[in-house]
Amino acid sequence: MNHDDFKFEPIRGLPEELPSDEQILWQGSPNALRLARDAWALNWVIGYFALLTIWRVGVSSADVPFTTALLHGVPFVLAGVVVALLIYAIAAIQARSTVYTLTNKRVCMRIGAALTMTLNLPYVCIANAQAAARADGTGTIMLELTGETRLSYLMTWPHVRPWHMRRTQPALRAIPEAAKVATIFAEAAETRVSQPQVTRTQEFDLDADGIAAE
């Protein structure tokens, strides 16, 4: 039975319908395995249990035959497998509940498995962006916000740039085809920021000669 936890959304990944002048340019979610490696240090955890196994076998081999010493390492292998599977399961749940959206006006991030929230980041609030792509095509796009925009590191983790806590940088993490998405983002942001922003401050009436009069 396929149950959609986000059936209430009018558009996938967005809390409301888009205005008529706004279009979705790209949508995607993190790659679960890459998210487990990058955000949950899966490779380090596997390496840790591998070292524990080698250490236990080495210590036991001094007192018992090597074949018996190998059996002493089995509990550490099993523990490592269980922990690795738990980490992957957590990452998979996070990836499933996450939707990153790029429109011609903003970056939208629906994040959170237990407590879901949506971040709307207009391009005019993004001061800079950096992209890091890996050989397999997955990567992360990190967004540096302007001084007026602040986010909680803990509330948005793991969808942030690691260890940047004082000035939290939201990030589109572990996304497939990161280089392509970075190009879409750069073009959309440049177009949006270069558009003139008109603010209405006071009304004027034109007289017969075409001169503005209060």
Give the pLDDT of the chain (214 residues) as one tens digit per residue: 444 555 567 888 888 899 999 999 999 999 999 999 999 999 999 999 999 999 999 999 988 899 899 999 999 999 999 999 999 999 999 999 999 999 999 999 999 887 889 999 999 999 999 999 999 999 999 999 987 778 899 999 999 999 998 889 999 999 999 999 999 999 999 887 766 554 444 444 444 454 444 4
DSSP sequence for 76-101:
HHHHHHHHHHHHHHHHHHHHHH-EEE
The residues, any chain, with a CB within 8 Å of residue 145's CB and separated by 6 or more, are 121, 125, 126, 127, 151, 167, 168, 169, 170
Whether 65 is covered by a domain: the verdict is yes
Verify that 124 and 85 share a domain, yes or no: no
Tally of structural domains, the chain: 2
What is the span of the domain harbouring residue 134?
111-193
Locate all alpha helices (DSSP H) within 117-177, ordered by sequence: 153-156
Verify that 177 and 117 share a domain, yes or no: yes
**Could you tell me the pTM of the whole model?**
0.83
Verify that 41 and 86 share a domain, yes or no: yes
| Tokens of residue 182, six digits | 């970075």
Whether 187 is covered by a domain: the verdict is yes
3-class SS of residue 116 = coil
Question: Which residue among 93, 123, 143 closes a domain?
Answer: 93
Whether 99 is covered by a domain: the verdict is no
Number of C-beta neighbours around residue 127 at 10 A = 11
Whether 60 is covered by a domain: the verdict is yes
Verify that 120 and 188 share a domain, yes or no: yes
Whether 204 is covered by a domain: the verdict is no
Verify that 174 and 118 share a domain, yes or no: yes
Verify that 121 and 160 share a domain, yes or no: yes
Verify that 85 and 115 share a domain, yes or no: no
Verify that 115 and 141 share a domain, yes or no: yes
The residues, any chain, with a CB within 8 Å of residue 212's CB and separated by 6 or more, are 204, 205, 206
Verify that 125 and 187 share a domain, yes or no: yes
Verify that 75 and 48 share a domain, yes or no: yes
Whether 87 is covered by a domain: the verdict is yes
Whether 200 is covered by a domain: the verdict is no
Whether 23 is covered by a domain: the verdict is no
